[in-house]
Amino acid sequence: MKNLIDISVGLASSVAGKLAQLPAAFVRRAQSDSGQGVSEYIIILAVIVIACIILAVAFHGQLESLWSSVTGKLGAIPQ
């Protein structure tokens, strides 16, 4: 039984030690990355958002018709 307790305590302290190292690992990772990667993701996200806006404007009539159809069918479902 004592061995089991010793193993449990050792495992718990090992896990606690690893968890304590996580914030430092994140800080090191953030400091080592250049801002270039983040800016590239922002540019990609901006392009996707702009494309979605253009598509929504271009297909406004069809989207409105589809939305009306869906909401009409959902309204017909008995409660």
Kindly report, residue by residue over 53-64, the tens digit of the pLDDT.
Answer: 999 999 999 989
**Residues 27 and 38 both lie in one domain:** no
**Residues 42 and 67 both lie in one domain:** yes
CB count, 10 Å around CB of 63? 13
pLDDT for residue 39: 82
Mean pLDDT in order along the chain per 10 residues (79 residues):
52 60 62 69 93 93 91 82
pLDDT for residue 1: 47
**Residues 20 and 47 both lie in one domain:** no
Q: What is the DSSP string of 8-44?
A: HHHHHHHHHHHHHHHHHHHHHHHHHS-HHHHHHHHHH
Q: What is the number of structural domains in the chain?
A: 2
- What pTM did the predictor assign? 0.45
Containing structural domain, residue 8 = 1-32
